[in-house]
Amino acid sequence: MSSSRPTYKDFSFAQHGEVFLILEKLFAQLQVFYYLVGANARDVQLYKAGIKPTRGTADIDFAVMVPDFVVYEQIFEGLCSLGFRKVKEKHRLIFDKTNTVIDLLPYGEIEQDYTIDFIERDISLSVLGFKEVGDMAELFSPVEESYSISVSPVEGIIILKFIAWSDKPDSRSKDLEDIAFLLKHAWEFYEEEAYQKHLDLFDDDFEINKTAARIIGRKMKPILDQNQKLKQTIIGVLEKSTQIKVQAQNPEITLAQNMDKTIEEVNVILKLILKGIND
């Protein structure tokens, strides 16, 4: 853990308390489940572990479980009556008072083949993994605020970011950077749990980064086991990245660069995540 613990205001979500309160009230009224994903979810997990974030984010991403576009539009209309406004992006709103941008990414019965199609804008969004990660979402209630919000767990963030990167590998390098940062600090997320639930990993070959990687895989397992396509996609990414190649590729290149490790060391970590999934 870092020697100088960051303060609440060091984190991106600390600037959006008013927005979270509005969302909490409206979604409760509509009886719609939603949870925080993306960079703000990452920052919540960093905050809980006392790790200072490396970069901020311009918007807040939410996964929103809805049955159809009628309910989805009701959410937008409700928020627009509370100070938000629509923009050209079909899934985006801006809260003018604080200039906060939110993306509401729908999933659930509204999706087809793990995809949301916004016909008016000819845009498709992959939502593979949203339901399964959402089932494992954690409730976050910061003592500095009066709101509560469901947040993707660390292993869920890694899953969704691997999915997002694999869907558009040429334009999603920031997802790999976020994964690298989470893997680099994985022991800080899982140390307490390691001593409580993973004592079998404390053997003669114990090393914190390797042990944390195995725990990540074990934590991913119940999420991935819910959906065969999700499991095959994640395992496929991990297996391909650890294959012997003439020349290294992504994701291992970006992970190595951002974790200050060699390609070989990253391959070991990814193999241990795979091993944890198969435990």
64: burial class by Cβ within 10 Å (0-12, 13-18, 19+)?
buried
State residue 1's pLDDT score: 42
Q: Using DSSP bridges, classify how beta strands 123-126 and 115-118 pair: parallel, antiparallel or unpaired.
A: antiparallel
The answer to whether 256 touches 268, Cβ cutoff 8 Å, is no
How many CB atoms lie under 10 A from the CB of residue 88? 6
Q: Which one, of 66, 152, 80, 142, lies nearest residue 109 by Cα?
A: 66
Tens digits of per-residue pLDDT, 107-166? Answer: 999 999 999 988 655 678 899 999 999 999 999 999 889 999 999 999 999 999 999 999
State residue 55's pLDDT score: 65
Tens digits of per-residue pLDDT, 242-251? Answer: 998 889 999 9
What are the structural domains of the chain?
Answer: 8-152 (3.30.460.10), 173-278 (no CATH)
Tens digits of per-residue pLDDT, 183-193? Answer: 999 999 999 99
CA dihedral 39, 45, 47, 48 (to 10 degrees): 170
Residues 26-54 have a mean pLDDT of 93
State residue 158's pLDDT score: 98
Residue 3 has pLDDT above 50, yes or no: no
CA gap 18, 14 in Å, rounded:
10
Q: What is the DSSP string of 199-228?
A: GGG-STT--HHHHHHHHHHHHHHHHHTT-H
CA gap 42, 50 in Å, rounded:
12
Higher pLDDT, 168 or 254: 254
State residue 120's pLDDT score: 59
pTM of the model: 0.94
Helix axis angle, 186-197 to 38-49, nearest 10° = 60
Tokens (6 digits) for 32: 């719609």
Higher pLDDT, 255 or 168: 255
CA 259 to chain centre: 18
Q: Using DSSP bridges, classify how beta strands 123-126 and 100-107 pair: parallel, antiparallel or unpaired.
A: unpaired
Tens digits of per-residue pLDDT, 6-32? Answer: 888 888 788 889 999 999 999 999 999
Residue 96 has pLDDT above 90, yes or no: yes
Residue 167 has pLDDT above 60, yes or no: yes
State residue 125's pLDDT score: 86
Q: Where are the alpha helices (DSSP H) in the chain?
A: 17-30, 38-49, 69-80, 130-134, 154-167, 173-184, 186-197, 208-224, 228-241, 252-259, 263-278
Tens digits of per-residue pLDDT, 206-249? Answer: 999 999 999 999 999 999 999 999 999 999 999 999 998 889 99
State residue 217's pLDDT score: 98
CA gap 124, 169 in Å, rounded:
16
Share of the chain above pLDDT 90, in %: 80
How many CB atoms lie under 10 A from the CB of residue 20? 22
